[in-house]
Amino acid sequence: MDERAALGERGQAVWDAYGAADLPAGHRALVHEAARICDTLDKLSRLAAGDVATWATVIISEVGEVSLEIGSVLAEMRNQQTTLKNILMEIRQVGLVQKKPKVTRDEEPEDDDIVVSFQRAAERRASGQ
């Protein structure tokens, strides 16, 4: 089974960053799970950024009280983010490090930390860039 081929764009980037194909099975499984979670977070993010009706509902009670019910998409995103953070900490504990990208003078180096990359991407999305 080609584990990398089943991953999305961000998942493949995580897979490649750790050189997962060359790792022992247990370490490869950790990286694979982190990569899958990255892909899941991308999908959940696209869903949350799309039609609000897919994750939020206005409810009006019989007595006229109005409430907003937030669906499980946002809660699931928080759960996935926490799980990813825990897996990345475990990856660090077993001593895995990301491969360093080759950088030319005209390029900026990529972030060494995937969590920082996600935070920066979220900040760019929030600011509309």
In angstroms, rounded to a whole number, what is the distance separating the alpha carbons of residues 81 and 73? 12
How would you classify residue 89: left for phi > 0, otherwise alpha for psi between -120 and 50, otherwise beta? alpha
Q: Say what the pLDDT of residue 120 is.
A: 66
pLDDT tens, residue by residue, 71-104: 777 788 889 999 999 998 888 888 877 776 555 5
For residues 9, 15, 21 and 23, what is the CA-based torsion angle, rounded to 10 degrees?
-170
Is pTM, for the whole model, over 0.75? no
Which of the four pLDDT bands, split at 50, 70 and 90, describes residue 10? very high
Phi, psi of 60 (to 5 degrees): -115, 120
Query: What ranges do the domains of the chain cover?
Result: 9-120
